[in-house]
Structure formats: structure tokens, C-alpha cells
Structure 1
Amino acid sequence: MKRRTLLKLAAGSAALSGLSPVSLVVAAPLKELRLDYAYYSPVSLVLRRFGWLEEEFKADGVQVRWVLSAGSNRALEYLNANSIDIGSSAGLAALLAKANGNPIKTPYIFSRPEWTALVVRKDSPIRTVADLKGKKVAATKGTDPYLFLLRSLQTAGLKRGDIEHVGLQHADGRAALEQGKVDAWAGLDPHMAASELESGSKLIYRNVAFNTYGFLNVREDFLATRPAEVARVIKAYERARTWVRANPSEAARILSEEAKVSLPVALLQVKLRSDFSNPQPGSEHVKALQVAAPILKEEALVKADTDLNRAIAELVDTRFAQPYITRA
């Protein structure tokens, strides 16, 4: 059969199955699976601790390599650089990356957390978002806390230029706040919970609706050429997620040991600030991004002509994980 005929048949089969032609390419056997783990994703810590992915791929001779992500910005950088295949980030951070050319898709949601808020020292005179005008505020660019900060400023009629932004990674932001080097910090758990419980830091502004979901992102080419392997990863994530829901105190203990934070801090993050009930990407997540997306243009974080609705549609994969989700 001629090559042209084969290609036509492949394209036709792809259209019928809803997959792109590239997904029909027979890839060489996978030798290494690269993914991140993060303290802001307790599910990833549980999955890594119990070795369920290693168990899943052992018979195939696939090595599993774990890379620590210190924040959404790092996970998304690793994905864009092809240093990992699968990485965890906040939803709005993933959209920002996608809109700026990072070739990723999100087929799975690992949590709905309230993992960020605006934080000041226990003795700070700052009481409201409006009080931040002219102040030094630490936040990690390209992450949910940074975007949370920008959206929070809007509630008080302020913009990024009305504060002095200090770009620090999350752990460094906590240290800078407690050492008096900045006036406020857009925190991230577990660092934020630790500062609150151990140093008496105060959360002056909370808004769970401004905390976008925990997105498990996959490089587009990896998802297209290795859908079976991605499905197996999602099934392993589901095993870990259902375990966390059934064993929140034990999950907190694992977080405590991995992140080197106290058990009360870990319990605050896992039990009170994380919802692990809905891993299926859907209209809830799309709408949350549509509501949040305007901040990206208003603060010139994407090009003015960027079609954010299209970027959202291309990012959130609402179909892939359906067969693998554990129904509660």
C-alpha cells in the first residue's frame, strides 16, 4: 500500500476516534517516566512514598524519575524545557504558561486547595489589601500566589504598580516576611501554614475563589504519543487520591516528613485547606479560568491579542481521564 494511502487511512481513523494523527504513531518503548512531586500536592507525595508508579511500570522496565517542584513556575519551566513529562501546577499558572506558548494539556485535577492568601507579620499595622499601597510584597512570579496577589489588589482598586513587588521563591518569601525584609507576602502552603502557626503571621486577605485548582499537566507530545502511559499515571494518581481521602491524617504525616514541617502545619493544609473530591476536569474548572483570565491581559502578562478562551479550551482536557476516575 502506498505511503499516501496509509496516511489518509491513519488520518481518517484519528478523526473517528477523536485523536490527532500523531497519537497513532507507534512510539518506541518508554525507558524513563519523568514527573514532579511537590509539597503543595500531597497526592504526589503519597504516590511517591508508596512507590505505586514504580510498581505499575516495573514489568515494562520503565524507570520512574521524580523531580521536586518548588512552585508552579518551576514545574511549568521543566515541562517547557522537556525536563519532565508530567508536572503539577495551579490552574491559572498553567493557563498563563499555555497562553505564552508552553505546549501542555491538563487531563487531571489533583486537588482544589486554598493554598494561598496575603500574609503579614503578627505585629504588622497592615490590616487590609488597601494598606499594601506603596509596600514591599513578596510573591513568586508565574504562580497562583502571584496571580492571587494581582487579583486581590484589584479588589482594593490597586494595580501591580501600586506596590513594590519582590520576586522570591515561596520559602524565601516566608523568610523575608518574618525577617522584616518585606511588608507582606503572597504565601503558599505548607510554608504559609507554618508561618501562621509557628510565627504568628496573620492572613489579611483570603478568597478561596481566587485559588485556582491543582492541575496535573502533561506535555502535548507525550499525551499524544503515549496515551496508554498517561492513563496508567492517572490511575496511579487516582489510587493515591482515594487513599488521601480515606487517610487524611496519614497523608498529613507524609507531608510533614517530606516538607519537614510540623504535623499541625501539615494537618492544616491537608484537612482544612484541601479538597480532593473532584479530579475530573470539567466546566467547573473551565469557568474558574474564564473568570480569572482577564487579569493576565490587564497586567500585560500575555500579548494583548491572545485568545484566552481558546487557550483555556486547548489546555483543559475534559475527556481523557473519564474512564480512569474512581467514582466516590
Structure 2
Amino acid sequence: MKTFSSFPNLKAILRRFTAKNLPGFAALFSVALSLVLVVSSCSSQTAQTPANSSPTAAKPDTVKVDYAYYNPVSLVLKEKGWLEEDLAKDNVKVEWTQSVGSNKALEFLNSRSIDFGSTAGAASLLGKANGNPIKAVYVYSKPEWTALVTRSDSPINKVEDLKGKRVAATKGTDPYIFLLRALDEVGLSEKDIELVPLQHADGRAALERGDVDAWAGLDPHMAKTELETGSRLFYRNPNFISQGILNVREAFAQEYPVYVERVIGAYEKARLWAIDNPNELKAILAKEAKLSDTVAAKQLERTDLSDSAIGDSQKTVITAAGDVLKKSGVIQPSVNVEQVATDLIDPEFVKKVVKS
């Protein structure tokens, strides 16, 4: 706070006045006193309100979240309305958008159409390496949601049999990356097959029609063709599958960190409910994805919801996937895969919400 001692010129002027000039002194004193009060008030305001603070915490008008049939927890959260219930306290709306694959979720995140998107971890790495500004903040499942699939009457029995064959896959997704890793394991690459880029549901249909020889499948489509048409999962390897990851736009996380925690909190409530209510979970999946009970049950049989923490284990899996993507030319040779994985994974939000 400023005082008279802070204004030496003003004190000198005041000393020139005597009682003979009291009216002038009174007027000057009044001006000086006003000046001191103004400066004091400004100083007090500055001390109480930091330059970068705001009277209320920043909040979005709407939180935009995706849902996906390969992410059963998102279906529970959408069905139950727990996120809407929580955010309504702040007059914040929730908007839902369907992602039909990791590639679409990444497109929506990059275009700001959604704030939170469901992908596989390896797909998140690919998006991040290509400049998509996202953070991986939560694990919604550890699924065996992909395998290499062929028809029941196909002569294909092992990965080596794919050489020269037409194989459907959705680029930028875990099944596509799974295919590349399976080929690499036996000394083959994408150049040794004829890749037919199709979205997941179209890939299943192409396999069933005989338009392709094999398909890098994704549940629930994979479970559906397995149970309803007898398609065979001829190559399975859970170690090549990256986990189901909830991503947030970096800009959203920086501007509204509290709301990242709120979304994760709602997700965690839905995950725990799904574990405790398996029959109801199956019913929600069957209704939303228009599946039979047996197909929904088959997908959930391959879905582990036991752990939502994100950190080193996810980094190890997606870094290994990134190395194959780099070797296959999908990621540029100059990219430091391990650094991208480190920049992608942010475990701090879930640590604040999920207590071990």
C-alpha cells in the first residue's frame, strides 16, 4: 500500500503552506488524500486478484463425448446419464457422438467435433505421431477385440497363408496395426498382401460375401460373424492388442482440467457398475449395437474391465506397435516413437480420481 512517504514531491509542496494559507492547504490536502485512497485501492485490488486469475473457474458450455460399440463402458455411461446429472450442476451440457472405429474417433478429436474419444492405445499413438493434439488419460477396457478372421471353408490357417491374398482392414485402428504386427512376426509386410481398406462393418460383410480372403476383425462385428456364419479366428494374440484408451483434446485438458476429472469420474462409476452388473451390461450392449444376447456375451467374454489405470504398461505395448508402424512406413522414420508415447500418456488425471 502507498503512503505519503512514497510521494516526496508532494510532502515538499505541503511544507510551503502555513496556517495563513489554510484554505489552499485544505484544498490541496483533499486532493492528496483522494490520490492516496485511489492508489491504496488499486494496490489492494492487485494484491487480491492475480493477473491471470478469474472470479470463477473456467467451464465449457458443452462437453462432447463419443460412444462406441467396442467401448461398452461408454454405452453404460450414455444409458445411465450420470455425466449429464453431474455436469448439470454447473449448467454444462453433454453431447454424444458415435465413433465406429478408432480412426473416426481420432478424426473427430482432431476436428474438435468431440472433446473425449475412444480408441485403441496404438491408434492413439499413430494419431499423436501424425500431429493430432491429444492426451491418453484413462483405460476403459483391456479387450481381445481383434484377431485375423477368415471364412469357415477357407484354406487359410496361419498368417503365412495371407501372402498374395486380399485382406480387409480399417487403417488407423488396432485391427490394422494387429495385422501389421502379425505379418511382421513371420517376416511379411503389407506389401506382401493386397490390403483392402474398409470400415469394420464393411470388412465383415466383404469377408462373408467372399470379396476378400481374410479380415482384421473387430468386436462386436467379429463375434457376430464368428457365431452367425461360422467365420474362423485363425490367428489370435492378446499380447499384440493395445488397450481401450479414452483420449482428450490437449486444448480442452489445458483449459478445463477439472472437467477432465469429472468425465473420468463418471467413466469410473460406469466401469464399476458394469463389473457389478454383467447381465445388465450385456443387455445395454445388445440393445445399443443391435446384437443378439449370444453375440453380446461373446464380445464381453473377451473384454476385461478390471483396471482403469494408465501408465507404463500401456506405454510398453503401444511403443512396440509404434516400432512396427515405423518399420512399415506408416510412421515417418524421423519420429521418436518412445517420446511420442511419453507425450501421449498422461496418468495424472486418473490418479486424482481413481483411488487405489
Q: Please give the TM-score of this superposition, normalised by the length of structure 1.
A: 0.91
Which of 233, 236, 248 is the equivalent residue of 2:266? 236
Indicate the residue corresponding to 1:89 in structure 2.
119
Listed as ranges, the gaps of 5+ residues in structure 1 are 11-20
* Structure whose alpha-carbon radius of gyration is higher: 2
8 Å CA contact 2:184–2:324 kept in 1: the answer is no
Q: 1:273 aligns with which of 302, 308, 319?
A: 302
Match of 2:334 in 1: 305
Distance 1:258 1:291, change over 3 A: same
Give, in angstroms, the shift of residue 249 of structure 1.
Answer: 2.0
Q: Which moved more, 1:102-111 or 1:51-60?
A: 51-60
1:288, distance to aligned residue in structure 2 (A): 1.3
Q: 1:26, 1:225 within 8 Å by CA — same for their partners in 2? A: no
Can you give the 5+ residue segments of structure 2 that lack an aligned partner in the other structure?
1-41
Describe how 1:285-300 pairs up with structure 2 within 5 A.
285-300=314-329
1:162 to 175, 192, 196: 192
Q: Per-residue CA shift, 1:262-311, capped at 9, x if unaligned?
A: 111111111x2111111111211111122222111111112111111111
- In structure 2, the residue matched to 1:115 is 145
Q: 217, 225, 230: which one pairs with 1:200?
A: 230
Rounded to whole Å, the distance in 2 between the matches of 1:326 and 1:234 is: 12
Deviation of residue 24 (structure 1)?
Answer: 9.3
SS in 1 for 2:349: coil
Cα gap change, 1:251/1:180 in structure 2, threshold over 3 Å: closer, same or farther? same
For 1:59 and 1:325, how far apart are their aligned partners in 2? Answer: 21
**Is the CA contact (8 Å cut-off) linking 1:109 and 1:215 kept in structure 2?**
yes
The yes-or-no answer on 1:29 pairing with 2:55 is no
Shift of 1:323: 1.9
**Alignment deviations for residues 115-157 of structure 1 (CA, whole Å, 9 cap, x no partner):** 0000000111111111110000000000000000000111221
Q: Residue type matched to 1:205 in 2?
A: Y
* Alignment-mate amino acid for residue 267 of structure 2: Y
Name the amino acid aligned to 1:275. Answer: D
CA–CA distance in 2 between the matches of 1:293 and 1:24? 41
Whether contact under 8 Å (1:36, 1:87) holds in the other structure is yes
Letter in 2 for 1:319: E
Q: Which residue of 2 aligns with 1:189?
A: 219
Check 1:78–1:24 CA distance in 2 against 1; reply closer, same or farther (3 A cut). Answer: farther
Give yes or no for contact 2:260–2:349 (8 Å, CA) kept in 1.
no
> In structure 2, what residue type is equivalent to 1:164?
E
Match in the other structure for 1:245: 275
Aligned-residue identity in percent: 54
Q: Secondary structure at the match of 1:320?
A: helix
| Residues in 2 aligned to 1:170 and 1:239: alpha-carbon distance in whole angstroms | 29
Q: Distance in 2 between matches of 1:32 and 1:139?
A: 34
1:296 partner SS: helix
Hey, what's the Cα distance between the residues in 2 that align with 1:316 and 1:299?
23
Given that 2:121 and 2:244 are in contact with CA atoms closer than 8 Å, whether structure 1 keeps it comes out as yes
- Cα distance in structure 2, aligned partners of 1:106 and 1:294: 19
Structure 1 runs of 4+ aligned residues shifted over 4 Å read: 23-28
Q: 1:148-188 CA distances to partner (integer Å, 9 max, x unpaired)?
A: 00001112211101000000000000000000000000000
Give the Cα separation in 1 of the matches to 2:157 and 2:80: 43
For residues 92-171 of structure 1, what are the structure 2 equivalents within 5 Å? 92-171=122-201
Give the 3-state SS of the residue equivalent to 2:348 in structure 1. Answer: coil
Paired with 2:112 and 2:316, the residues of 1 have a C-alpha distance of 29
Amino acid at match of 2:159: V
Offset, 1:326: 5.0
Q: Distance in 2 between matches of 1:314 and 1:165?
A: 31
- Give, in angstroms, the shift of residue 94 of structure 1: 0.3
In structure 2, the partner of 1:13 is none
Letter in 2 for 1:325: V
Kindly tell me the number of residue pairs found equivalent between the two proteins: 311
Asked if the contact 2:59/2:256 (under 8 Å) is kept, the reply is no
Q: How far, CA to CA, are the matches of 2:162 and 2:177 in structure 1? A: 16
- The RMSD of aligned alpha carbons is 2.0
Length-normalised TM-score, structure 2: 0.84
Letter in 1 for 2:291: V
